[in-house]
Amino acid sequence: MYSKKIVIRYTPETVQQPVIYLLVKQYNLVFNILKARVFPRREGVIVLELTGLKENFDGAIRFLKEMGLKVESLSKSVSQNTDKCVHCGACTGFCPTAALTFEKESLKILFDPEKCNGCELCVSACPVRAMEINLL
């Protein structure tokens, strides 16, 4: 079995298409939604982990691109630059997976990369840019 995390970016024209259904039905892929921000008639983004046969995965990626969707590999990770971090806590309010938490005893922001889904919301929320994207 082959498994990979991808990011699909929808356009206002493609957001109404049953994309996930077609991946399951036509390509026999199992999906896990890690993040989704999709609204009717607007741009959207969904982060998926797809699992299945490699040839089915490759066919599905070609299919998505032919539909006009932008498909990227989730090939980056987020990290905390502790030298830059001022522990203000701004990032914690945006983290959907609780990978960033405020520790009361030390008054520090703790980052658990195992909980991080790579959504990057903390990167834009951090006023001092202590949350960084690392290309893998």
Q: Which pLDDT does position 122 carry in this prediction?
A: 93
Residue pair 3/50 in contact (Cβ under 8 Å)? The answer is: yes
Q: Which pLDDT does position 62 carry in this prediction?
A: 96
Indicate the SS3 state at residue 22. Answer: helix
| 33/52 Cα distance (integer angstroms) | 15
* Domains defined along the chain, listed by start: 2-73 (3.30.70.260), 78-135 (3.30.70.20)
Residue pair 90/125 in contact (Cβ under 8 Å)? The answer is: yes
Residue pair 69/22 in contact (Cβ under 8 Å)? The answer is: no
Strand partners of residue 77: 134
Buried-exposed string 71-101: b where 16+ CB fall within 10 A, e elsewhere = beebeeebebeeeebebeebbbebbeeebbb
Per-residue tens of pLDDT for the chain, all 136 residues:
898 888 898 888 888 889 999 999 999 999 999 888 888 888 888 888 899 999 999 999 999 999 999 898 775 678 899 999 999 999 999 999 999 999 999 999 999 988 887 788 899 999 999 998 775 4
